Structure 1
Amino acid sequence: MSTTAAKEKKPFHFPSAFTILLVILFISVGLTWIVPSGSYQKLTYNMTDKVFVIKTHGEPDKTMPATQETLDQLKVKIALNKFTEGTIKKPISIPDTYRQLPQQPKKLTDIAPSMIHGTIEAADVMVFIFTLGGMIGVINKTGAFNAGLSALARKTKGNEFFVVASVCVLMAIGGTVCGIEEEAVAFYPILVPIFLALGYDAIICVGAIFLASSMGTAFSTINPFSVVIASNAAGIQFTEGIVFRAIGLVIGSACVIAYLYWYAKKLKANPQFSYTYEERADFEKLYTSSETQESLEFTGKRKLILVLFSVSFVMMVYGVMFWGWWFPQMAASFLTFAFFIMLLSGLSEKQIVDAFTHGASELVGVSLIIGLARGVNLVLDEGLISDTILFSASQMVAGVPPSLFILAQLVVFIFLGLIVPSSSGLAVLSMPIMAPLADTVGIPRFVVVSAYMWGQYAMLFLAPTGLVLVTLQMLNIPFNKWVRFIWPMIVALLVIGTILLLIQVAMYSA
């Protein structure tokens, strides 16, 4: 045997999240040369002057009186109070105003600036993540996590999956109620060590947190960041169609729990069944320390620290739901709780500073991915091709029979979910264009809202421009292994969504 042949082949490693995003950036730049540039006029409400502002690309802004008559004249079927009360803050696409524009191709030299500008735009999310990481670093230093995990492992022995199922239910509720997405990042550092202590792997962690919360968000009932803003942009009440969404939530959540139970059972029987078995050592190194195996006493002080940590998450969810919090407020809340934990810790000033900075530094890669993903959206927006894609999609689904129309809408929103990964962003851009098309085929507009949610989230389980790569980076999961795990759940979501859409069309079509 030759020396060359005898050499051991290097194992193939799927490209990292950073490489995937860089490739997508190159593709996005290429698309700005191929897809025609174009734009809809955009409508915003000026809270200071109390007027509507119409933005037309390349032209001076125009103002119009903030009245319902103005909205009717512009064919924007949205109640005036949705603008004046601040419910709709982002620019709304004005129907029938699309026009093709001179090509606005981006260059390869625009890639680096877009990455920087995208990172700057994501500064609020990054500060939130750094603050969370710092607080967790301090808690790790106190030994509270390790002591608590040891106590939990003893109490749940033989019933480990109950913890996974409970987390799934809570995350699904969080998704359907307040749309936990970026906020879900906050749960990994606390829940991952728990799942490790219970004998599970990275896939179980991402399934119980990301998959369950995303399934809940896909079947949003009162989530203000998707179904509420989409319904407002469609000119209807968000309660329309809520029964179908609630039914989908129950079925979808049950599918997630059943799928994870099957996977967990296989994993317990044979640890090598793990889809991420090859990465297990690196994964465990991320979330365990040399102290993890020590039997630490679960003292009253450590219990109080974990209580404060848990309360900080309750405060975050409550603030988002009822006080209108966003990332700066959430970061400030976590930092406040971190101060109390520091005072309780008994650590020296140097130990606290070192632990906080170490915890924050471990999430630098995750934060940068969020910024780079924003860079992709900047390239598409500045190349003026996002509206062209939306216009072409609306033309494709117009005037077809109701059942075919709504299934075509589902497919369209799957594709648009890749172009515009923000649920609220896609809602205000697409609903004023897509929802009126439902009137032409004789079905209620809330059915289009359902198609928007179920189609977009089927794509967001995979879309590199969304939160998928952030999650995978945190848990050291290669993208190809994530695809292997998630595809049955994408099929489940689309099957449930398709059946519910066809039932709604059959029940309500004129």
Structure 2
Amino acid sequence: MKKKITFPTAYTILFIVLILGAALTYFVNAGSYAKLTYDLETDSFIETFPDGTKQTLEGTQETLNQLGIVNDIAKFKEGSINKPISIPGTYERLDSNPQGVVDVLLAPIKGVYDSIGIILFVLIIGGVIGVVNESGSINAGIAALSRVTKGHEYLLIVFVTFLITLGGTTFGLAEETIAFYPILMPVYLAAGYDAIVCIAAIYMGSAIGSMFSTTNPFSVVIGSNAAGINFTQGISYRVIGLIIGFLVTTWYIVRYATRIKKSPDKSLVYEMREDINKNFSKQKEEEFTTRRVWILSIFALSFVVMIYGVSKLGWWFEEMTALFLVSGILIGIIAGIGEKVFVNTFVSGAADLVGVGLVIGIARSINIILENGLVSDSILYSLSNLVSGMSPNIFVILMMVVFLILGFFISSSSGLATLAIPIMAPLADAVGVPKDVIITAYIFGQGLMAFITPTGLILASLEMVNVTYNKWLKFIMPLLGMIAVVAVAILLLEVNL
């Protein structure tokens, strides 16, 4: 009997990309730009040269002007720019530092260490969800929600996509959405949809919001600061893109959801339905008691507090993890499940998401290999030379493509901004376009790559719901094409109006 060929797991895909990344370090010239960092304690700049040597410079506007960095010194003093930024015109070739077998083997370990914040957050979320599930509250809540939305289940898609898009465009809701999958998957399955619908509503809500950022501090704000402009420049075009992007994305998801609700066999994950349903479908009807209302209310309030903390109080994974740990303990007390049952359930829930944590760590290892191999700056240098001296219309389109490519190698929006924007922004003057167009091209390019890049969050999201990468690609590629057309149209509009 012929053995059926199956698509590799997220781990295998990431290891393949990791090996390819290491191979690049053998063929791409090593090099680096000098980096500039502001020291708040000494009120001075520290310039780190490509060879690793450093010098201290006066923390003045004149220093920035001499280095060709088009930024206001106030941005550094107030902490708006708090990462090393590339200094234009300082690229130097360096001795190659190819990443060998040992480096490849160590990279995932280092990646897990570097990502420990988000990994621990994911594990604690898993534990809390295990406790909530043990209380029967999730099944009771799903039953109640199903009765309320009966006949209008598509509203679940619209509502969730809208809220997450709003979070993505305003304060960069991204990694935090990992927590939503175990909760919303049973809801969508109970509504007659499949796992793809759940992934699309959550992940694409965040991706569209981040791509068409309005006030996202991790992309458009830090990118604008690096370009020396106010983040409100060009915001009207991004708002137009946000509205169109949300409408197109929601329509696309609802259309697919409606089709597979009528004919379940048309689902892209139809052959995987038994495994998925086994993990997420509700097991039995539960009564929606007052105690369960309190449990779900505390759980929902945790997300509200998390969003407020991230957007207003500067929280990051340490604070978010502590919040959900406290939430889990409170829920366990209210549920009255006892100390031993609570601990065992919490640990079991966390164990269910260990695989997701490993995916996050391995994805980070790819960036580590490229950074240690000294090829990221070389790729940036080559691409910046490629787009210089072109007509404005061709320039902005190719600039978006450049950031799309860079988005594969540098998945962090703030990291890409501080590395690339100081180099790319001056090119706008050379071709006669405003610098805000560079910012728009940057968030559009990286935003499109985020739809599919294995070095980002998508593989971790797919691992949460047991869906393979090829199924996601089959679903998302037509939508990626549609959104790319929207992005190009808005860029051309911004350049020519």
The TM-score range, normalised by the shorter chain, is over 0.9
2:47 match: secondary structure: strand
Alpha-carbon distance in structure 1 between the residues aligned to 2:226 and 2:424: 10
Cα deviation, residue 102, structure 1: 0.9
Q: Is the 8 A contact 2:182 2:464 kept in 1?
A: no
1:484 maps onto 2:474 in alignment: yes
| Structural mapping, 1:421-436, within 5 Å | 421-436=411-426
* Residue of structure 2 in register with 1:319 after alignment: 309
> 1:203 pairs with 184, 196, 201, which one?
196
Alpha-carbon distance in structure 2 between the residues aligned to 1:383 and 1:205: 38
Cα deviation, residue 151, structure 1: 1.0
| Structural mapping, 1:300-315, within 5 Å | 300-315=290-305
Cα deviation, residue 195, structure 1: 0.7
* Residue of structure 2 in register with 1:463 after alignment: 453
1:411 match: secondary structure: helix
Alpha-carbon distance in structure 1 between the residues aligned to 2:468 and 2:295: 34
| Structural mapping, 1:96-495, within 5 Å | 96-288=89-281, 292-495=282-485
2:38 match: secondary structure: strand
Alpha-carbon distance in structure 1 between the residues aligned to 2:75 and 2:122: 31
Cα deviation, residue 438, structure 1: 0.3
> 2:13 pairs with 5, 20, 26, which one?
20
Q: Which runs of 5+ in 1 are unaligned?
A: 1-6
Cα deviation, residue 338, structure 1: 1.6
Between stretches 293-302 and 95-104, larger displacement belongs to: 293-302
Alpha-carbon distance in structure 2 between the residues aligned to 1:326 and 1:306: 24
2:480 is aligned with what amino acid?
Answer: I
1:43 match: secondary structure: strand
1:71 maps onto 2:64 in alignment: yes
Alpha-carbon distance in structure 1 between the residues aligned to 2:359 and 2:55: 37
Alpha-carbon distance in structure 2 between the residues aligned to 1:431 and 1:457: 15
2:191 is aligned with what amino acid?
Answer: L
1:53 match: secondary structure: strand
Alpha-carbon distance in structure 1 between the residues aligned to 2:28 and 2:91: 15
Alpha-carbon distance in structure 1 between the residues aligned to 2:433 and 2:230: 15
Alpha-carbon distance in structure 1 between the residues aligned to 2:352 and 2:42: 45
1:233 is aligned with what amino acid?
Answer: A
1:470 match: secondary structure: helix
Between stretches 142-151 and 9-18, larger displacement belongs to: 9-18
* Residue of structure 2 in register with 1:34 after alignment: 27
1:481 is aligned with what amino acid?
Answer: K
Cα deviation, residue 21, structure 1: 0.7
> 2:46 pairs with 48, 53, 58, which one?
53
* Residue of structure 2 in register with 1:95 after alignment: 88
Q: Deviations over 1:220-261 (max 9, x none)?
A: 001101100111111100000111000100000001111011
2:181 is aligned with what amino acid?
Answer: Y
Alpha-carbon distance in structure 1 between the residues aligned to 2:196 and 2:52: 50
Q: Is the 8 A contact 2:126 2:346 kept in 1?
A: yes
1:78 match: secondary structure: coil
Cα deviation, residue 180, structure 1: 1.3
Cα deviation, residue 11, structure 1: 2.1
Q: Is the 8 A contact 1:454 1:493 kept in 2?
A: no
Q: Aligned-residue CA RMSD in angstroms?
A: 1.0
1:237 match: secondary structure: coil
Alpha-carbon distance in structure 2 between the residues aligned to 1:83 and 1:26: 38
Alpha-carbon distance in structure 2 between the residues aligned to 1:168 and 1:59: 46
Count of residues in correspondence between the two structures: 497
Alpha-carbon distance in structure 1 between the residues aligned to 2:52 and 2:255: 58
Alpha-carbon distance in structure 1 between the residues aligned to 2:346 and 2:148: 30
* Residue of structure 2 in register with 1:3 after alignment: none
2:410 is aligned with what amino acid?
Answer: V
TM-score by length of 1: 0.96
Q: Deviations over 1:439-474 (max 9, x none)?
A: 111110000100111111111111111111111111
1:413 is aligned with what amino acid?
Answer: F
1:57 match: secondary structure: coil
Cα deviation, residue 297, structure 1: 1.0
TM-score by length of 2: 0.99
Cα deviation, residue 265, structure 1: 1.4
Q: Is the 8 A contact 2:32 2:377 kept in 1?
A: yes
Alpha-carbon distance in structure 1 between the residues aligned to 2:11 and 2:408: 17
Alpha-carbon distance in structure 2 between the residues aligned to 1:371 and 1:49: 35
Alpha-carbon distance in structure 1 between the residues aligned to 2:304 and 2:429: 42
Alpha-carbon distance in structure 2 between the residues aligned to 1:344 and 1:12: 48
Alpha-carbon distance in structure 1 between the residues aligned to 2:46 and 2:60: 12
Alpha-carbon distance in structure 2 between the residues aligned to 1:46 and 1:282: 53
Alpha-carbon distance in structure 1 between the residues aligned to 2:298 and 2:329: 11
Cα deviation, residue 286, structure 1: 2.0
1:206 is aligned with what amino acid?
Answer: I
Q: Deviations over 1:194-228 (max 9, x none)?
A: 11111110110011000121011100001101100
Q: Is the 8 A contact 2:50 2:92 kept in 1?
A: no
> 2:494 pairs with 504, 507, 510, which one?
504
Cα deviation, residue 59, structure 1: 3.4
Alpha-carbon distance in structure 2 between the residues aligned to 1:59 and 1:463: 31
Alpha-carbon distance in structure 2 between the residues aligned to 1:293 and 1:367: 26
Q: Label 1:59 to 1:160 Cα distance change in 2 as closer, same or farther (>3 A).
A: closer
Q: Deviations over 1:378-418 (max 9, x none)?
A: 11000000000000000000011111111110111111110
